[in-house]
């Protein structure tokens, strides 16, 4: 018996069907994907499980495509070796070439089909499979405590330890973190006792009143600290990739939290709620400040004096805090001052504080590369000569100091924005979300065909034996981010090193310049597949002959290429032929 499980995002059901019935369901799904745009690739998760290991002996038309915990099976395309699988985290995308309807049909009339499937974990697979096998029986549902505990431990490790902590930190780090945790727990406990003692000293009396006030205070602080933990889990390595962006917004969050605290006298009955929200903002701000402090301080060091510089920065902060506290006490002690006057006085002080933080970050130089800094570095280095020849000028590569002076850090930038006929560059997008970038395809082609052809063009060289570590595709129909001449899409392999990542960004920028130049000369959008293929070939040849010069020039300009911040680990891809 062959079991098939189908789960949709909003609605779910379980089907237990024989092999032939399951095949009819697959044919039905493929027809829906081909016929209607809205029913294609909308988050359908397909799971195929068999109670017999010799399923391929039953019917050789079925072929296993996934070696993960999640088994994905589709109809074999009559030994068509043009099909391949792209894995991106838990997302598995299959590009298949439908069989020809007649002998004269060529590949252009037979566009590839992209099917994206979300994989499931080992624990989820066991639950789904056991639930399918128990349909129609009275067998009680088994609850595995060890599975729950293992998942909780894994989530706790991701929340409290650095990414890939087994390889990214020294072996002594775990012992250090353990004893620091004990120290902080006991320190917090002593702080609660100290708070209660202070309330006694203020004359609140004995009994339940000081204890209740202390509990309210601790709850307020507890919510704030919990918010900081959640924030640190979500941000992760962005503290290293975008320190200026997070440092700027940490000051904004701090002033917002302080503003909420200023409102507590107007709403005393909401003291706990307002105080908790304000404390969450403060803890997020303090965590962002402390996490980005090392990255920012390191940029100012010319010698191995990071410890001395950090200590002096702490002294400066302490002195500034004392002066600011005295200034605040002076304002608060003014005669006949009201709550409303304090609030009005807070606004200009807060704005001046944010302005000072912004001005200080303009002098911060970040030598590592991300999407925005790489765009600024390459802005004038790739050009065209008067006779239309592509030119790379190493001397025009921007230095970290020049880039930091014009870098936009007030908002997070994860892609290169399109400008006029210059297409944008989207880095590491999810394959199952690409069809959302296309509003309407030109001509008679469907959205599915446009996206599938681009994905096939980008990843097919790796299937044909090319030693690819990055993948670049051009989708002229893409309108995301306001593009009028399409967008370029860039993915990195799980085996890509720092040099491969750097060359991938360089390759995308070269192809971007070629497309923009061709569109400018022709006065129209580049949409002909033959023209796109020709430009992609020119970009590959140009990158091949200038790769060494480019990489050496980037290092000579002072950029740190030992760490790249272009893609999360879960967005890296792995390509293999079927």
Q: What is the pLDDT of residues 458-474, one digit of tens each?
A: 888 877 667 788 999 99
| Helices (H), ranges, 242-336 | 243-262, 271-299, 306-332
- For the chain, give the mean pLDDT: 70
pLDDT at position 373 over 80: yes
Q: Which residues pair with 20 in a beta bridge?
A: none
Q: How confident is the model at residue 443 (pLDDT cuts 50, 70, 90)?
A: low
Q: What is the pLDDT of residues 485-516, one digit of tens each?
A: 888 999 998 888 889 999 999 999 999 999 99
Radius of gyration of the chain (CA): 29
The pLDDT value recorded for residue 222 is 67
**Lowest-confidence region among 106-115, 120-129, 348-357:** 120-129
Is 369 within 8 Å of 564 (Cβ atoms)?
yes
Q: Which two tokens stand for residue 395?
A: 């001397």
Apex 51 CA angle, 50 and 56, nearest 5? 50
Say which residue, 345 or 231, is predicted with more confidence: 345
Using a pLDDT cut of 90, give the percent of the chain over it. Answer: 13
Nearest to 258 by CA among 328, 192, 363: 328
Using a pLDDT cut of 70, give the percent of the chain over it. Answer: 60
Mean pLDDT of 529-556: 92
pLDDT at position 94 over 70: yes
For the entire predicted model, the pTM comes to: 0.68
**Lowest-confidence region among 17-21, 113-117, 164-168, 330-334:** 17-21
Q: How confident is the model at residue 538 (pLDDT cuts 50, 70, 90)?
A: very high
The pLDDT value recorded for residue 448 is 79
pLDDT at position 66 over 70: no
């Amino acid at each position: 018996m062959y079991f098939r499980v189908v789960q949709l995002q909003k609605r779910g059901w379980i089907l237990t069907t024989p092999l032939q019935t399951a095949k009819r369901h697959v044919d039905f799904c493929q027809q829906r994907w081909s016929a209607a745009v809205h029913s294609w690739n909308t988050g359908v998760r397909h799971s195929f499980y068999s109670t017999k290991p010799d399923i391929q002996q039953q019917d050789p038309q079925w072929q296993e495509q996934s070696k993960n915990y999640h088994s994905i099976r589709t109809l074999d395309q009559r030994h068509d070796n043009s099909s391949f699988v792209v894995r991106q985290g838990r997302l598995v995308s299959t590009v298949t070439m439908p069989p020809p309807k007649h002998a004269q049909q060529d590949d252009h009339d037979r566009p590839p089909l992209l099917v994206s499937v979300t994989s499931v974990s080992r624990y989820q697979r066991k639950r789904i499979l056991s639930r399918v096998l128990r349909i129609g029986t009275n067998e009680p549902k088994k609850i595995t405590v060890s599975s729950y505990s293992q998942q909780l431990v894994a989530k706790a490790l991701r929340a409290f330890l650095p990414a890939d902590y087994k390889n990214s930190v020294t072996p002594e780090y775990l012992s250090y973190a353990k004893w620091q945790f004990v120290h902080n727990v006991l320190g917090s406990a002593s702080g609660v006792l100290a708070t209660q003692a202070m309330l006694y000293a203020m004359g609140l009396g004995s009994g339940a009143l000081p204890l209740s006030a202390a509990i309210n205070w601790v709850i307020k602080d507890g919510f704030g600290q919990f918010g900081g933990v959640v924030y640190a889990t979500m941000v992760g390595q962005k503290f290293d990739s975008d320190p200026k962006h997070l440092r700027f917004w940490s000051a904004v969050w701090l002033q917002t939290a302080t503003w909420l605290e200023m409102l507590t006298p107007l709403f005393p009955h909401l003291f706990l709620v307002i105080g908790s929200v304000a404390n969450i903002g403060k803890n997020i701000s303090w965590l962002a400040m402390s996490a980005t402090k090392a990255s920012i301080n390191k940029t100012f060091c010319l010698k191995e004096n990071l410890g001395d510089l950090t200590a002096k920065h702490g002294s400066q902060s302490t002195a500034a805090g004392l002066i600011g506290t005295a200034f605040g006490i002076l304002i608060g002690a003014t005669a006949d001052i009201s709550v409303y006057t304090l609030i009005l006085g807070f606004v200009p002080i807060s704005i001046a504080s944010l302005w000072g933080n912004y001005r200080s970050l303009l002098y911060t130089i970040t030598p590592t590369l991300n999407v925005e800094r790489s765009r600024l570095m390459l802005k004038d280095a790739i050009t065209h000569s008067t006779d239309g020849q592509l030119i790379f000028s190493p001397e025009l590569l921007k230095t970290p100091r020049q880039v930091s002076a014009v870098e936009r850090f007030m908002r997070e930038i994860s892609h290169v924005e399109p400008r006029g006929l210059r297409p944008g560059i989207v880095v590491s997008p999810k394959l199952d979300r690409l069809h959302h970038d296309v509003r309407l395809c030109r001509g008679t082609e469907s959205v599915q065909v446009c996206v599938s052809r681009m994905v096939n063009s980008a990843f097919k060289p790796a299937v044909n034996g090319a030693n690819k570590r990055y993948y670049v595709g051009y989708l002229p129909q893409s309108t995301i981010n306001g593009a009028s001449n399409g967008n370029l899409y860039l993915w990195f392999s799980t085996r890509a090193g720092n040099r491969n990542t750097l060359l991938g960004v360089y390759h995308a920028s070269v192809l971007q310049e070629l497309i923009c130049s061709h569109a400018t000369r022709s006065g129209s959008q580049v949409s002909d597949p033959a023209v796109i293929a020709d430009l992609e070939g020119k970009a590959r040849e140009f990158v091949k002959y200038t790769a060494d010069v480019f990489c050496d020039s980037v290092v000579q300009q002072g950029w740190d290429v030992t760490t790249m911040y272009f893609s999360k680990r879960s967005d890296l891809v792995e390509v293999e032929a079927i």
